[in-house]
Amino acid sequence: MIDIELVLPAGWAYIPTAPGLARLRERAINGIVRHALPDTLPRDKAGPWRRVLRADLTRATDEAERQGARAVVLPVTEMYGMRLPGTLVLSVIEDEGDDVRDPRQVLDGILADAGTDGTALEVGGCPAARISQVMDSDAIGRRAPSVRVSYFVAAPGAPGTWGLLTFTVLSDGDVEADPVRAIVLLFDMAVSTLRWSDRVDVPTEDELLANL
């Protein structure tokens, strides 16, 4: 199975959303909830917040699974006293059929559609496109806009296979503010560590849980 791997900063969580990993996902979510609202907090005060956070994470990762994503990545620790309001979704897309176009032609089309929002680059030695957009956040119950950055990365030696990495960074209204730009840069750095792997013996969920 062709997959993508990232080197994540300390304090970032990786939540698998591929089919067949429900227990592993639940364990990851529980770990995030315990970190954000430790057991040392009063149960009557922290309990409702734990339920809300667990429900939000479960809903978001269920949606990622429905969309075919492999994983959701998010920072769970503060940096310099500031929480990093962003999430990264990882997907691998494989074109079906015999009409598989040259990766650079596909990227040229993506960049042409993106206009000034698009940038051609390489990620992990592979041709890629980076698309940055300012998005309306009403759908997630926020008035302030957010920054959404999508990377399309061609898999080496596998025409028609793509890595799609999309991260969203929330703002307080100014998407050009230094903290927002710094968080976007941090996510860009995480994406820059992307490497492709061709796994022959994919571990089962039981094996993965046994190694934790």
What are the boundaries of each domain within the chain?
Answer: 2-20+70-210
Pairing of strands 146-154, 126-135: antiparallel
Query: What is the pTM (predicted TM-score) of this model?
Result: 0.87
> Is the Cβ–Cβ distance between 45 and 38 less than 8 Å?
no
Q: At which residue do the structure tokens 């304090």 appear?
A: 11
Would you say domain 2-20+70-210 falls under CATH 1.10.760.10?
no
Please give the chain's pLDDT, 212 residues, in tens: 788 999 998 889 999 999 888 999 999 999 989 888 888 888 888 888 889 889 988 988 999 999 999 999 998 887 666 677 889 999 999 887 667 788 999 999 999 999 999 999 999 999 999 999 998 866 555 678 889 999 999 999 888 899 999 999 988 888 898 888 988 999 999 999 999 988 766 777 777 777 77
